């Protein structure tokens, strides 16, 4: 079934000079918009006022310095006010995380990424219920993931949330309260080729997710018969693939704005990498995912990942929820339409005025989750209507 909401127009800005970038950064901070949502306005303004160059490490260093202030405050409060310390660790993570965004491709970005991980894990230890850091064996390596389970719940239904191109599993788990409040456990993992994932983007990388499902089956507090995988942005690709390859072990999959077939074609991909809906460095982040350096190399590597060309589409699939915006300049709406045509039983939600992942002025990411994603998850996992 299709749901297309009425929305207001949501235009996207074009090319940015240094001054235009600063204006756009503050617009996104004030609007709680990605990728800088959750960064305090005072911190952002201080950084913006202090940097007078587009050089990457100058910005990374400035964001890191602000994160250090929150980290120092957290460490000072840990023994006297755990609630305040938890929030300070979260803010430290948010600043460090943005300092390394969208990809760890400079000395300071590479230096700050482990600090972002450490700050987030300190934050997670102070959550209630606590965040468990799990290490899942995978060949001679491990899949590092985060797990939270609703308090006092046995055999909890599970959502496996996969991070995207520039997000990381920490972004996924930062939203954990919204899942737990509805009776769902959340397992957050990095997608292949990003973060701490043990495998690169390559043929067979989906076997990493099969190992995760094997691990879930061995957990006493998780219901392996009620598992949904959720892919956001680029990781929607993996959600769609797993809906087919792991259909017997999944109740369903959320393909939220991910690449399926048309995205991987040079005639779409080349111009899309210049989209200013993406804040900056879209090409470097994409090249790093494909483990190459140039646009030509990206365009040569990409077609091999088309799910249509690989023969995945057309096989039986677990139930799908398909979400995106008709105006997405990063992932073509044609990819949702292709999946919907291939699997007409899917639930499809398209925002006609929405950009990437369906977001617009009227439909924030939080609203889409609350009114579209969460009710579908609750129904698919057979939760009570109160969780819808």
Q: Could you tell me if 132 and 156 are in contact, meaning their C-beta atoms sit under 8 angstroms apart?
A: no
Domain annotation covers residue 16: no
Are residues 192 and 301 both part of a single domain?
yes
- Looking at the fold, whether 63 and 179 belong to one and the same domain comes out as no
- Within a domain: 30: no
- Residue 223 has phi, psi (to 5 degrees) of -95, 100
Q: What is the rounded CA–CA span in Å between residue 199 and residue 189?
A: 12
Average pLDDT, the chain: 94
Per-residue pLDDT, averaged over 5-15, amounts to: 35
Radius of gyration of the chain (CA): 20
Confidence of residue 384 (pLDDT cuts 50, 70, 90): confident
Domain identity same for 377 and 330: yes
Tens digit of pLDDT for each residue in 294-335?
999 999 999 999 999 999 999 999 999 999 999 999 999 999
Residue 61, Ramachandran bin (φ over 0: left; ψ between -120 and 50: alpha; else beta): alpha
Q: 3-state class of 74 per DSSP? A: helix
Query: Are residues 151 and 177 both part of a single domain?
Result: yes
* pLDDT over threshold 50, residue 14: no
Number of domains the chain contains: 2
- For residue 46, being part of any structural domain is answered with yes
Whether residue 352 has pLDDT greater than 80:
yes
Q: How far is CA 230 from the centre of its chain?
A: 9
36 vs 11, higher pLDDT: 36
Are residues 175 and 118 located together in one domain of the fold? Answer: no
**Given this model, what pLDDT does residue 385 score?**
74
Which structural domain range is residue 66 located in?
A: 38-126
pLDDT in tens, 249-301: 999 999 999 999 999 999 999 999 999 899 999 999 999 999 999 999 999 99
Is the pLDDT at 8 greater than 50, yes or no? no
Query: At which of 92, 126, 160 does a domain end?
Result: 126
Determine the pLDDT at residue 154: 87
**Quick check: 361 pLDDT over 50?**
yes
Query: 76-91, pLDDT tens digit by residue?
Result: 999 999 999 999 999 9
Burial class (CB in 10 A: 0-12, 13-18, 19+), 9: exposed
Q: Does one domain contain both 210 and 350?
A: yes
Q: What is the mean pLDDT of residues 183-200?
A: 98
Mean pLDDT of 167-190: 98
Q: Is the pLDDT of residue 149 over 50?
A: yes
pLDDT for position 387: 62
The CATH number linked to 262 is: 3.40.50.1820
Q: Is the pLDDT of residue 2 over 70?
A: no
Share of the chain above pLDDT 90, in %: 93
Domain end among 126, 153, 174: 126
Tokens encoding 222: 């998780």
Q: What is the DSSP string of 254-266?
A: EEES---SGGGSH
**Of the candidate ranges 15-19, 176-180, 368-372, the one whose mean pLDDT is the lowest:** 15-19
Cβ pair 266, 286 in contact under 8 A: no
Residues 157 and 278 in one domain: yes
In a domain, 84, yes or no: yes
Q: Are residues 315 and 293 in the same domain?
A: yes
| Helix, strand, coil % in the chain, rounded to nearest 5 | 45, 15, 40
Residues 119 and 137 in one domain: no
Does the N-terminal peptide bond of residue 107 adopt cis geometry, omega within 30 degrees of 0?
no
Residue 372 inside a domain? The answer is yes
Same domain, 119 and 248: no
Structure tokens that stand for 353 in this block = 């005025």
Q: What are phi and psi of 133, to 5 degrees?
A: -90, 120
129 pLDDT above the threshold of 90: yes
């Amino acid at each position: 079934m299709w749901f297309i909401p009425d929305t207001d127009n949501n235009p996207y800005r074009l090319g940015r000079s240094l001054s235009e970038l600063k204006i756009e950064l503050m617009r996104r901070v004030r609007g709680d918009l990605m990728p800088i949502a959750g960064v305090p306005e005072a911190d952002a303004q201080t950084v913006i006022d202090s940097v007078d160059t587009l050089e990457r490490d100058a910005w990374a260093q400035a964001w890191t310095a602000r994160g250090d202030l929150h980290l120092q405050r957290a460490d000072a409060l840990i023994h006297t006010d755990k609630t305040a310390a938890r929030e300070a660790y979260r803010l430290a993570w948010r600043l460090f995380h943005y300092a390394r965004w969208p990809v760890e491709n400079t000395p300071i970005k590479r230096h700050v990424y482990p600090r972002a991980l450490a700050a987030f894990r300190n934050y997670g230890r102070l959550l209630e219920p606590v965040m468990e850091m799990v290490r899942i064996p995978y060949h001679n390596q491990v899949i590092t993931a985060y797990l939270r389970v609703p308090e006092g719940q046995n055999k909890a239904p599970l959502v496996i949330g996969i991070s995207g191109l520039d997000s990381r599993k920490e972004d996924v788990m930062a939203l954990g309260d919204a899942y737990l409040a509805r009776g769902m456990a959340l397992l957050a993992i990095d997608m292949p080729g990003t973060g701490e994932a043990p495998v690169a983007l390559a043929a067979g990388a989906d076997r990493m997710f099969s190992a995760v499902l094997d691990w879930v089956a061995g957990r006493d507090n998780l219901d392996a018969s009620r598992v949904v995988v959720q892919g956001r942005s680029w990781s929607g690709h993996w959600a769609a693939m797993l809906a087919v390859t792991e259909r017997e072990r999944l109740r369903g999959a959320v393909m939220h704005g991910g690449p399926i077939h048309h995205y991987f074609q040079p005639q779409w991909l080349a111009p899309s990498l210049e989209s200013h809906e993406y804040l900056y460095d879209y090409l470097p982040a994409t090249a790093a995912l494909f483990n190459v350096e140039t646009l030509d190399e990206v365009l040569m590597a990409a077609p091999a990942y088309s799910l249509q060309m690989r023969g995945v589409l057309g096989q039986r699939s677990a139930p799908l929820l398909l979400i995106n915006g008709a105006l997405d300049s990063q992932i073509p709406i044609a990819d949702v339409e292709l999946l919907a045509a291939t699997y007409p039983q899917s639930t499809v939600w398209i925002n006609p005025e929405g950009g990437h992942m369906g977001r617009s002025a009227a439909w924030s990411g939080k609203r889409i989750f609350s009114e579209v994603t969460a009710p579908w998850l609750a129904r698919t996992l057979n939760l009570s209507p109160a969780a819808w």
